Amino acid sequence: MRSKSYSLGLAGYPLGHSLSPQIHGAALHALGISGEYSLYLITPFPEGKKELAALLDKVKVGAIHGLNVTIPHKQNVMPLLDELTSAAKAIGAVNTIFVQDGRLIGDNTDAPGFWADLQQFIGSKEQERQSALVLGAGGSARAVVYALLTHGYQVAIAARRTEQAQALFNQFSTISNQLSVLDSVQRSLDTDRYSLLVNTTPVGMHPHENASPWPMDMALPKHAAIYDLVYNPRETSLVKRAHTIGLLATTGMGMLVEQAALAFELWTGVAAPRNVMKQVVGM
């Protein structure tokens, strides 16, 4: 195992903000494993379809040993794979690809990555928090909603694109009856019924740090833990506001590291050095 040199990477567009090379590079170095983690800029579809297919061919023949996938290709890549894990199939998105018996397998480590970090974030209070409001209905929301539903949460979705929220609802209503869709986040909404608020939208991400996915003229849920998947800046406007009024709040940096650790373990078969991976991103 240690004599093998791993070629790993990330496919997506854009990729300039990615911390994955630092995270995986630190893990390889800490374990004394030879290898590198590269960024593969793949043009959005339909133009990028041939590029992505060619990259997957390299994975299949062993020139690349493991591949992560990010926006906008988490769903684009699915028809190009030989098989999907049950999680990837249920979520409808792939973020990790590996080869098994000569077949390209698509998995999703976002959902277990989010759940593992959520448990660490909430700690012993986790059992008290069983009702969540999720902002957004994109690929990240799919992973978050799947994780919450499969662990017994009641989940409500609020998204600007109602058709996207409805599609998410239709997909997951087959695995749980604990899911609902809201028209939007409005003053009339009884937000205090929620014990967890999760932002899965990019609102508040650098360079728009002052933006917030939660209306500024509307109070945050009084007793909710706030989980913002945005991790750049390190303290988003939403998290800063929550901290100001004494709420438990965090960004998605922990999820980023945890999903990376799970992918690393799929590719190498070695336990990921999570402490090292956290240190390299300043956690």
Of the listed 49, 58, 74, 89, which one is catalytic?
Answer: 74
Q: Is 74 one of the catalytic residues? A: yes
Q: How far apart are CA 105 and CA 73, in angstroms?
A: 15
- List all residues 6 or more positions away from 25 whose beta carbon is below 8 Å from its beta carbon: 36, 37, 280
Alpha helices in 173-250 (DSSP H): 237-244
73 neighbors 43 (Cβ within 8 angstroms): no
- What is the largest distance, in Å, between two alpha-carbon atoms of the chain? 61
Alpha helices in the chain (DSSP H): 20-30, 49-60, 86-91, 110-122, 139-149, 162-172, 237-244, 253-268, 274-280
* Cα→Cα distances 245→195, 226, 242, 276, Å: 15, 12, 6, 32
100: β partners: 103
91 neighbors 167 (Cβ within 8 angstroms): no
Q: Show the tokens assigned to 271.
A: 């336990």
Q: What are the two backbone dihedrals, phi and then psi, of residue 106, each rounded to the nearest 5 degrees? A: -105, 130
- List all residues 6 or more positions away from 55 whose beta carbon is below 8 Å from its beta carbon: 11, 40, 42, 64, 67
Please give the positions annotated as active site: 74
